[in-house]
Amino acid sequence: MDMRLPQPRTEELLNAILEELKTSKMPKRLWSVADIAAYLNRSKVTIQQRVVCKPDFPNAVRIPTQTGKVGPLWYQEEVKRYVKRHQKK
């Protein structure tokens, strides 16, 4: 006699995960220069030299470590708001 429980379908599992993510208190994601470059479809050099250096670009987060500082990071939502503000209307 097979005593295994029925397995939920993939779609049901994905929906359950999505609902959990929507309601969870997940920390805000931090983006690196590489993440921003991928989001804007530009090179890392372009992002470093022409975007993140602009005075109105969001301030970077720099997390100190025992060996020094990690490279600059930015809150994903702040970067997305910045991009949206510069969208042509």
Q: Residue range 77-85: average pLDDT?
A: 94
Record the pTM.
0.66
Strands, E assignment, the chain = 30-31, 64-65, 68-69, 74-75
Mean pLDDT for the stretch of residues 74-84 = 94
Of the chain, the percentage scoring pLDDT greater than 70 comes to 81
Query: Domain for residue 65, yes or no?
Result: yes
- What mean pLDDT value characterizes the chain? 84
Q: Which domain holds residue 69?
A: 28-85
Structural domains counted in the chain = 1
In this predicted structure, the answer to whether residue 1 has a pLDDT above a threshold of 60 is no
Residue 42 lies in a domain: yes
Asked if the structure places residue 37 within a domain, the reply is: yes
Residue 60 scores a pLDDT above 90: yes
* CATH label of the domain that carries residue 80: 1.10.1660
Secondary structure (DSSP) of 44-68 = HHHIIIIITTSTTSPPPB--EETTE
Closest CA to 56 of 24, 82, 23, 80: 82
